[in-house]
Structure 1
Amino acid sequence: MRAACLGPDGSFTHRAALVLAAGCELVLMESVEAVLAALDDGSVDLAVAAYDSAAGPVEAVHEAVRTGRVEIEARHGLAVSFNLYRAPGDDAPLEGVFGHDKALGQIEAFLKAHDLKREALASNTLGLVLMRDAPRPGWGAAGPPGLENTYPLVVTHQRLEGETPNETVFVRLARRLP
């Protein structure tokens, strides 16, 4: 069986898919919309997606469930925490952070405290890829802990969300059969 999830490697959704779609071939996609489209067109058998986070519901997934396009087969809560990753050697003052819109919402207090710009991307780990491949001086990316070797970057701040732990609920989705 094949299961689609939001990538790249190491994303929170990828981590949840290792539990919710254990034993499946994982197909890492660039957006939640692409994950849902792959399930719709039958190119995958299952999908794993974030459903609810501390920053609110993932509307595209809620809409797909609400309209009957998909059904939820299983749920998995995953504790989420965010590190700030920067390009090696970038000593410019921090001015902005890349991240998924839900992550940026969860680290809002950090962003405000440091008066930082923000740029939303389809996934947090996409921000890590961007910082690795085309770093922008003075910018960092919010991402899951433990990826500094996967994406050769430097962790400059930990627990961007603060002391209160956050949890995101992920779901395993299947096409609703007629």
Structure 2
Amino acid sequence: MYVAYLGPRGSFTHQVAHQAFPDAELLAFANITEVIKAFESGQVDFSVIPVENSIEGSVHETLDYLFHQAEIHAVAEIIQPIAQQLMATSQGKDIEVIYSHPQAIAQGKQYIREHYPHARIEMTASTAYAARYVAEHPDEAYAAIAPHAAAEEYGLEVIAQDIQEIDENYTRFWLLGKEAPKIQLPSQASKVSLALTLPDNLPGALYKAMSVFAWRGIDLTKIESRPLKTALGEYFFIIDADNSQPDLVVYSLKELTSLGISYKILGNYLVYKAR
């Protein structure tokens, strides 16, 4: 079995992929789009991608590609606790440049502002790529924000621990595949994720779409708008709904159709908690 993940080794996505598929051949890709395309092209059996962080919100590259360009679904979700570490090739360096993924930089921006106000920030495709780049330039005044696993993987020293602004920091990861895998982690819930496109001539369209779920007692855990990329002011809406009673969800989708509201299923999955 082959599984694609956002690499290189030592990233949070790599940790999730290893926990979900401990015996699989894990293949690293440089960015989220390439990870998705690896499954789309049949190169791998599953792809592991980040979809939302509890501090910084949705990963738009993931959601936009799945809505606009792909006909593939999330078949499982894994929630990974996130702790960000500041690391360098040695302690005591006068850090001039800090590298990391935009989400990790955003999660640690308060610490950086307080302790390294003059450091230049450089974005990378993943936290692990940042750590590897710093390790490859030991004579430079560089640091990276990345997980502990990246420090171990690339021989870096952690110079500041747990720099994320909020202790309760989690990231949702979706597993893209043809069918649900067998995962040896505790499951917490069953959910379905939808992208809704509302008709222009339906007054109160968003309210009516939400009421389809509300009056059936279906809990919505996420509602977010994203640009349709057609014209200014036109959006599609992403919702996550509890799917513990799938028959009710099916009836809800039929009612959406009767109202003229289009939907695309982004995922139908069990939610697991990573170690």
TM-score by length of structure 2 reads 0.59
3-state SS, counterpart of residue 50 of structure 2: strand
Once the two structures are TM-superposed, the CA of residue 69 in structure 1 deviates from its matched residue by 2.6
Q: What residue is the counterpart of 1:69 in the other structure?
A: 71
Once the 2 structures are TM-superposed, how far is the Cα of residue 2 of structure 1 from its aligned partner? 1.2
Alpha-carbon RMSD: 2.0
SS at match of 1:62: helix
1:48-97: CA deviation from partner (whole Å, max 9, x where unpaired)? 01010121211121123323432010001100111111113x64422331
* 1:149 partner SS: helix
- Tell me the distance in 1 between the aligned counterparts of 2:42 and 2:150: 32
Contact between 1:111 and 1:117, CA under 8 Å: does it hold in 2? no
Q: Closer, same or farther in 2 for the Cα pair 1:130/1:8, shift >3 Å?
A: same
Runs of 4+ in 1 over 6 A off after TM superposition: none
**Mapped partners of 1:23, 1:119: distance in 2:** 35
Match of 1:45 in 2: 45
CA 36–163 in structure 1, closer or farther in 2 if over 3 Å, else same: closer
Paired residue total? 175
Shift of 1:148: 3.2
Structure 1 segment 8-157 matched on structure 2, within 5 A: 8-53=8-53, 54-67=55-68, 68-88=70-90, 91-114=92-115, 115=117, 116-135=119-138, 137-157=140-160
Is 2:11–2:150's contact at 8 Å kept on the other side of the alignment?
A: no
CA–CA distance in structure 2, aligned partners of residues 91 and 55 of structure 1 = 30
Computing the radius of gyration from Cα coordinates, the structure with the larger value is 2
Inter-CA distance 30–136: structure 2 relative to 1 (3 Å threshold): farther
Shift of 1:163: 5.1
Q: Identical aligned pairs, as a percentage?
A: 24
Query: Match of 2:10, as an amino acid?
Result: G
Would the alpha carbon gap of residues 13 and 146 (structure 1) be closer, same or farther in structure 2, given more than 3 Å must change?
A: closer
What stretches of structure 1 of length at least 5 have no aligned partner? none
TM-score, normalization by structure 1: 0.88
Deviation at 1:102, TM superposition (A): 0.8
Alignment check: 8 A CA contact 1:81 1:165 kept: no
Instruction: Show structure 2 runs of 5+ residues with no match.
Output: 180-275
Q: Is the 8 A contact 1:20 1:172 kept in 2?
A: no
Task: Check conservation: 2:98, 2:122, Cα contact below 8 A.
Answer: yes
**3-state secondary structure, aligned to 1:50:** strand
CA distance in 1, matches of 2:161, 2:128: 16
Any conservation in 2 of the 1:13–1:48 contact (CA below 8 Å)? Answer: yes
Name the structure, 1 or 2, with higher relative contact order (CA <8 Å, separation 6+).
Answer: 1
State the secondary structure of the residue aligned to 2:172: strand
- Report the 3-state secondary structure (helix = DSSP H, G, I; strand = E; otherwise coil) of the residue aligned with 2:151: coil
Question: How far apart, in 2, do the equivalents of 1:96 and 1:41 lie?
Answer: 37
Asked whether the 8 Å contact 1:127–1:142 carries over to 2, the reply is yes
